[in-house]
Amino acid sequence: MNEPRPEAEVHSWLIEPMPADVDRSIKRLARTDDVRYLAVMPDVHLARDVCIGTAVATSQLVYPLAVGGDIGCGMAAMRLDGDADVLADEWRAAKLLGGLYRHVPSNRHPAKTMPKQLSEPLVVSVLSHPRLEKLKHRDGRVQFGTLGRGNHFLELQADAENCLWMMVHSGSRAMGQAISAHHLDRIGSLPGGLPSVAADSPAGQAYLADVAWAIMYAEQNRLVMLTAVALLFEEFFGIAADRDSLFHANHNHVRREIHFGREYWVHRKGAQSARAGEPGIIPGSMGTASFHVTGRGCEESLCSSSHGAGRKMSRTDARRTISRRKLDRQMASIWFDHRRAQALRDEAPGAYKDIHAVMRAQKKLTRIVRELRPILSYKGV
């Protein structure tokens, strides 16, 4: 008779009891082969196979589904040398939104504005399979500098001194999904468990190398978009960007780290690294506050924190319960494209958890550097 597999050590920072389906998913993950530690963030919510808002430590095995398909997805922020009053009137906000539509597409660049080539580091770093290399020069190029849909966003924000900041949330676009699907196909399915690969095997090394490429793509993708916004502010308003203020924080990755005196493969899916002094970005929703933070290096959380507020409603439930009128009320003080309001109901602030409650729940994980209020929100649909 087979003995039950011992469960991993689990630590959680929650604002409310876990829903039953999330609890089952977390317990299943804790019993998965080679999972030694599991940290559950306050923004945890259900996703297929592995919940969003988790950090998982293993000794030898790598689990692509514990990273997710949008490898390297994350945030970037940069300060502008102006104050928020520049967007105080509707005409200026509309002008900026129009510029964003042209220079920061949500899905792909039109043929006339398509980048001629990816940046040199992305070109010279070769992916593990010819099919992925072909996709890199096709889909990777077409989507380089694009936002994506769903919960991806570009936002203009103001800090306590009314200084203007821009923040973008995006990832590796179609390339991350293709890399994840390619390696999951090669691994194949495992009876009763998540697909995994030994990190030191050729297949594991190929996956890890492709993950590193996707993380680089995602970071440069965010930088291209922030650069485009900076150019718009210079052209429209005569305001320059403070490029020295730029920082990134990604929340879908796997890497080798030391915890509890030993080396582990730490997978983060919708959780960001929060080592002592490490800068991070934690957004709320399109109508609520966001935070710049530094990590506190809490070992029990695998030096991790939430990557945002986290959904409290599925997209289906949000579309069913949040009307256009409710969305307009929740976004009353923020500029956004009202023509897209019907399609944005599943991204309404009411579909997300209370970001202030999330920050209180993880006060041992992060230290708040600044709080920012949203001024203008740009999202793809």
User: What is the mean pLDDT of the segment spanning 319-338?
Assistant: 93
User: What is the mean pLDDT of the segment spanning 348-371?
Assistant: 97
pLDDT at position 1, please?
41
Annotated catalytic residue 307 = yes
Measured at the CA of 310, the angle between CA 212 and CA 50, to 5 degrees, comes to 55
pLDDT digit string (tens) for 105-155? 988 877 666 666 788 999 999 999 999 999 999 999 999 999 998 899 999
Task: Please choose, from the candidates 3, 57, 10, 8, the residue with its C-alpha nearest in 3D space to the C-alpha of residue 268.
Answer: 57
Domain boundaries, the chain: 9-312+352-378
pLDDT digit string (tens) for 36-82? 999 999 999 999 899 999 999 999 999 999 999 999 999 999 999 99
pLDDT digit string (tens) for 181-198? 999 999 976 666 899 999
Q: What span, in angstroms and rounded, lies between the C-alpha atoms of 334 and 328?
A: 10
Token output for 211: 């993950």
Is this model's pTM higher than 0.85 or not?
yes
Residue 272 has pLDDT above 70, yes or no: yes
Radius of gyration of the chain (CA): 20
Tell me the average pLDDT of the chain.
Answer: 94
pLDDT at position 5, please?
62
Q: Does domain 9-312+352-378 have CATH number 3.90.1860.10?
A: yes
Q: What span, in angstroms and rounded, lies between the C-alpha atoms of 54 and 213?
A: 22
Q: Is residue 221 very low, low, confident or very high in pLDDT (cuts 50, 70, 90)?
A: very high
Task: Please choose, from the candidates 153, 179, 220, 145, the residue with its C-alpha nearest in 3D space to the C-alpha of residue 69.
Answer: 179
Helix (H) or strand (E) segment spanning residue 280: strand 279-282
Q: Are 146 and 221 in contact (CB under 8 A)?
A: yes
Beta pairing, strands 52-58 & 262-269: antiparallel
Lowest-pLDDT range, 6-15, 108-117, 147-156, 213-222? 108-117
Burial of 2 (0-12, 13-18, 19+ CB in 10 A): exposed
pLDDT at position 122, please?
95
Q: Is 119 helix (H, G, I), strand (E, B) or coil?
A: coil
What burial letters (b/e) apply to 111-123, b meaning 16+ CB within 10 Å? eeeeeeebeeebe
The residue from 248, 253, 307, 338 that is catalytic is 307
Task: Please choose, from the candidates 274, 282, 273, the residue with its C-alpha nearest in 3D space to the C-alpha of residue 370.
Answer: 282
Q: What span, in angstroms and rounded, lies between the C-alpha atoms of 294 and 366?
A: 6
Q: Which residues contact 161 (CB under 8 A, 6 or more apart)?
A: none
Is the four-CA dihedral 362, 218, 26, 312 of positive or negative sign?
A: positive
Token output for 236: 């429209």
β-pair partners for 249: 75
